[in-house]
Amino acid sequence: MPTTKGPATKGRLEISGLTAGYGQTRIIENLSFTVPAGGRLALLGRNGVGKTTTLATLVGQTTRHGGSITLDGVELGKLNSSARAAAGLGYVPQTRDIFRSLTVEENLVTGLKGRPRSALEEAYTLFPRLGERRRNGGGELSGGEQQMLSVARALLGKPTALLLDEPLEGLAPVICDQLMLALSQLDMTVILVEQQVDRALDFAHEVVMLDRGRVVHHGPAAAARDDHALMERHLGVSLAA
């Protein structure tokens, strides 16, 4: 599984003029931003502004009305979800979507995508708790363990860009710490949607803020954190210094 042994050379994600939604209902309008290979971008905004729809659009789960999605020069817009995954997009949805009737190890096997079973050790190295629970059913896991499983399964497919939708939702602070530490060790491109704004900005290099489906701010995460007026205006929060 990728670590910080070297800088990422793949995973440049370019979104240009992206407009999409569900059927004829448009949720996001004319989104444009780029994440360099190995870059970390926090996609933030109040509830209902289009963050989840943006990620769902990138992986091909919505109706795209315009714009382009390019990963390392490959146009993904006309590809189905499976082809986008094969091109290098990994996705961890807010719903986690683990197989509750399968064991931890059986869940992980579904993420191998043709890789040898020995690659499962990558998941157990990143999340030792999964190794301890490998024979337990998905339905027997705590919320934090389920999230670790969902992330590990996505990483086993060796994506070059990973999309994470609210990975910390409902988790205890100590589990959030463990999960964010694991994510910080990756050398791949990451787009993170997260309501815990302080953690998201600590993790990210850049931040894009959405309002009513449009980009209203794009800039360095550290600078956004220190701009209290910006944070209050677009997110309704003010972080402690």
Q: How many other CB atoms are found less than 10 A from the CB of residue 170?
A: 10
DSSP secondary structure letter of residue 137: B
177: pLDDT strictly greater than 50: yes
- What pLDDT digit, counting tens, does each position of 50-92 carry? 999 999 999 999 999 999 999 999 999 999 999 999 999 999 9
- What pLDDT digit, counting tens, does each position of 129-158 carry? 999 999 999 999 999 999 999 999 999 999
Would you kindly state where each structural domain of the chain is located, as residue ranges? 7-88+160-171+186-234, 97-158
The b-or-e profile of 185-218 (16+ CB within 10 A means b, else e) is: ebbbbbbbbbbbbebbbebbebbbbbeebebebe
219: pLDDT strictly greater than 90: yes
Of the candidates 132, 37, 29, the residue with the CA atom closest to the CA atom of residue 88:
37
Task: Specify the CATH class of 7-88+160-171+186-234 in words.
Answer: alpha beta
CA distance 185 to 201: 16
pLDDT of residue 124: 96
DSSP string, 62-75: SEEEEEEEEETTEE
- The tokens of 188 are what? 């791949």
Task: Give residue 184's region: left, alpha or beta (phi > 0; psi -120 to 50).
Answer: alpha
pLDDT of residue 8: 76
Q: What is the pTM of this model?
A: 0.93
